[in-house]
Amino acid sequence: MHLTLPKRHRALMTTFAICGLAAGALAQASEQAGLPVNNITLYRSGVGYFERAGLIDGDRTVQLRFGTDQINDILKSMVLLDLDGGMIEAASYGSKEPLARRLASFAVDVSDNPPMWELLNRLRGARVSVETLDGETAGVVVGVERREVSVGDSTVIDRPFVNLVTDAGIESVDLAKVSGMKILDEQLARELSKALAALAEHRADNTKTVDLSFRGDGARRIVVAYVHEMPVWKTSYRLVLSESGEPTLQGWAIVENTTDEDWDDVSLSLVAGQPVGFRMDLYQPLFLARPEIAVPVTAGVMPKAYEGEAVDWDAVAAKAAAPEPRRIMAGRSGVNGQPFQSTGNADRARFAAEALSLSADDMAGYAAQAQASAAEVGEVFQYKLDQPVSIDRRRSAMLPILSAAIEGRRVSIFNRNDGMTHPMRGVDIKNTSGLQLMPGPISVFDEAAYAGDAQISHVAAGDERLLAYAVDLQVLVNTEDKYDSNLVTLRIVNGTVEETRKARQTVKYTFKNSDEKRNRTIVVEQPKQGGWDLVKPAKAESETQTGYRFEVEVDGGGAAGLEVVFERTEKQTIAVTSYNINTLLVHARNGKASDEVVKAVREAARLMAAVRQVEQKINETEQERNEITSDQSRVRENMARIDRNTDLYARYIKKLDTQETRLEQIVDELEALQTERNSRQKALNDYIGRLNIS
C-alpha cells in the first residue's frame, strides 16, 4: 500500500505481519459499515493486495466477515489506519480451538467417534436406561466387558456386555440386543448434546467475524488493508500483421473476481512481481506439551502483581479532501465510442457487410484502446488501470492494457529438432512498445484474417523474440549430415603415439520455395553442441543459450541452401609397440608423421620382437616340462601294476632317470631365459621412456 500523509498528521497503525495467502471477501456487514474496496493490486505470484477506506464517527466497531479458511491470511497481513487522530483498539475474532481438544473438554468425550460399547464404558457411574426386546433396564453403569458367546452348535463369538447396578442388583445386558439407550442424568445428557452440537458447528463454520474497534471523537477516515490469495492475472495478445505498415500488438489482462463481494469502482493495478508468500496457521490455538511437576510442599508464597508495559497511543488528527473517483460505466458498446441505435433491416445489413470487409488497418485503428498506464514501481513493473473498474462477484473481466505499433518482420523458422520437413511461419518482433510483455498466448491476424496462435515468455522493453504461428507448407526443407575425422599430426610423447585429429560435422540445408509471389526469409535454428566450434558460416546472425540462428533468403519459386560446419580437435594415444607400422608408413607418406617417428617406432618394434622371441622360447621350454611331468605320471601308474623283475619295469626306471635329468636342465634353462627376457624388456622400456619426437 502506498499512502502519503501530511506532516502535521500522524497515523496510528496496527500491523498483523503482512504476506498471506487465501481468498478473502467482505460480506454485507462490511458494506453497511461504509468500508468498500477501493484499491486492489494483483500480482502474478497469485497474491492480491486489498485496500478499504471509509468514514466513521466517534467510537465505532466495524465488523468484517471472512471465510474461516481466510482468517490465517488476515492475521498475517491486516493493516489498520485511523487517519484523523483516533485510537485503534484490538481486532478481535472468535478463537478456533482444535476440534478434538474441544470435544474432549465435554463430560462425554466423543472426539474419537467411539462405538456404543465404548461410549457406555465412558459413562461409568452415570445412570442410564437401555431398551432390549425383553424390556427396559435402568441402572448405574459399572462398566463394559467382553464375553465369548456360543452361536449355533460350534461357533463362538466375542460380544460386549454392559453391567448395570439396578434396584434388583447387578445385571449384565448383551449390547447386541440393545435397541436404544437413554442417559438419565440430565446434566450429562446436555453435555453429550453440546458435544454433538460442536461437531455440527465445526462442519457448518464457513465464516468468521473480525471486529475492528476504533475510538475517537468526530468524523474520521479509516483504512483497512490486507493481502490474500488471488488467481494469477493473465495476459493475452493480438498481433495484427499488415503488408503496408508495422505490426500492431494489442494486450489484454484477464482478471477474475473470485471473492464474494462486487468490485465497484475500484482502482486496479496489475504487477508483474512475485513476492514471497507462504501459509501459516495462526488461527488454530497451539498447545505445547508441558512436563508434570509434583506439587511442592513448602510455605505459601504471596502472589506478585507486575506493572503493564507502557504504550504510547499519541495520534495526530488530519483531514484531507478525498477526490471523487471517475467511473467507467459497464455495458456500453458501439462503434468509435458511439452507442448502437436501433435501425432498420437495411441499415443492419449494410453494417454487417461493412464489418465483414475488415482490413488490418481497421483492426489496428479501431480496436479497444489501452486503458492502463505502465511504469516501474520500485523494483517491479506495474500496469495501473486509468479508470476505476467494476467487476461483479464470481465473474471475470478482460481489460485492454496495451495497444501499440512495434517493430517486426515476417520470417519462416526452421528447427530440425521439430521433426518436420516444413518451416514455421513466424514473426521476428522487437518490443518497441516501451512496456514489459508478460507471458501469454498471441493470436496472430494476417490482414484481418486469423492466421494462428503463438506464445511468448516475459519480454522486456527492447528485447527481440521469434513467434511461430503456423506451418509454412509452401517451403520444403531437406537436410543432409556428414561426419569425417582427419589426422592432423602424429607424434610420440612420453613413449606413446599421440594422434591429433580434426573432426568435422556438416549439416547441409536445402530450401525450395513453391510460393511464386513471395520471397522468404528463413531463420534456421541450429542447436549448439558442447566442444564443437562453428567454422562455417563464420558468424551466426544471432545466438541463444542453446543454439545459433542463421538467415537464408529464398526467392519466390526458387531454392537456396545453407551449409553449417562445426569442428573440434580430438586426441588419441596409442602404445608405441602396438602401433601398426604399415598405417604409420601411410601417414608418413602423407606428411602426417616424420621420419624420426617412423624410425623410433621401427626400433621399438625390433626391441619388442626381441622380447617376444625370448618369451616364445620360455613358453616352449615350459611346455616341454609340462609334457615330461605328464608322461612321468603315466609311467608311474604303469609301474605300480607290473612286476619289478620284468624288463618293462627296468625300461621305465631308465626312462624316468633320463626325464629327471632333462627336468634339471630345464630349470637351469628357464632361469637363464627369464634373465634374458628381463634384460631385453628393460632395454625396451628404457628406449620407449626416453621417446619424445614430434
Mean confidence (pLDDT) of the chain: 80
Give the strand pairing for 449-456 and 533-536.
Answer: unpaired
The pLDDT of 151-178, averaged and rounded, is 85
The pLDDT of 602-627, averaged and rounded, is 89
What is the structure's pLDDT at 297? 52
331 closest CA partner among 400, 246, 261, 390? 390
- Give the pLDDT band of residue 263 (cuts 50, 70, 90): very high
- Give the pLDDT band of residue 115 (cuts 50, 70, 90): confident
183 within some domain: yes
Are residues 676 and 627 part of one domain? yes
- Give the pLDDT band of residue 26 (cuts 50, 70, 90): very low
Are residues 653 and 565 part of one domain? no
Are residues 598 and 533 part of one domain? no
503 within some domain: yes
pLDDT at 560 over 90: yes
Are residues 672 and 599 part of one domain? yes
List, in order, residues 6 or more apart from 255 with CB less than 8 Å away: 42, 233, 268, 270, 389, 391, 396, 397, 398, 399
User: Residues of the chain with pLDDT > 90: what percent?
Assistant: 35
Residue that is last in its domain, among 191, 216, 245: 191
List, in order, residues 6 or more apart from 91 with CB less than 8 Å away: 14, 16, 78, 80, 210, 211, 212, 213
Number of structural domains (the chain) is: 3
50 within some domain: no
Domain holding 134: CATH number?
2.30.30.720
544 within some domain: yes
Give the strand pairing for 496-513 and 338-339.
Answer: unpaired
The pLDDT of 294-307, averaged and rounded, is 46
599 or 326: which leads in pLDDT = 599
pLDDT at 107 over 80: no
Report how far residue 513's alpha carbon sits from residue 473's, in angstroms, rounded to the nearest whole number. 9
- Give the pLDDT band of residue 564 (cuts 50, 70, 90): very high
94 within some domain: no
Report how far residue 66's alpha carbon sits from residue 10's, in angstroms, rounded to the nearest whole number. 29
Give the strand pairing for 372-377 and 37-43.
Answer: unpaired
Residue that is last in its domain, among 519, 541, 573: 573
Residue that is last in its domain, among 191, 210, 236: 191
pLDDT at 298 over 60: no
Are residues 603 and 559 part of one domain? no
What is the structure's pLDDT at 535? 93
* Range name among 147-156, 446-455, 534-543 with the lowest pLDDT average: 147-156
536 within some domain: yes
Biggest alpha carbon–alpha carbon distance for the chain:
147
338 within some domain: no
Are residues 565 and 485 part of one domain? yes
What is the structure's pLDDT at 685? 84
Are residues 598 and 569 part of one domain? no
The pLDDT of 185-204, averaged and rounded, is 76
Q: Residue 378 has which C-alpha cell? A: 520500485
41 within some domain: no
- Using left for φ > 0, alpha for ψ between -120 and 50, and beta otherwise, residue 317 falls in beta
Are residues 683 and 624 part of one domain? yes
What is the structure's pLDDT at 64? 84
Residue type, 141: V
Are residues 545 and 511 part of one domain? yes
Query: Cβ(670)–Cβ(622) under 8 Å?
Result: yes
Are residues 601 and 560 part of one domain? no
429 closest CA partner among 446, 413, 406, 459? 406
Q: Which helix (H) or strand (E) holds 634?
A: helix 595-639
Q: In what order do the strands lie in the sheet with 542-543?
A: 464-471, 424-430, 407-415, 520-527, 547-554, 542-543
Range of the domain at 631: 594-689
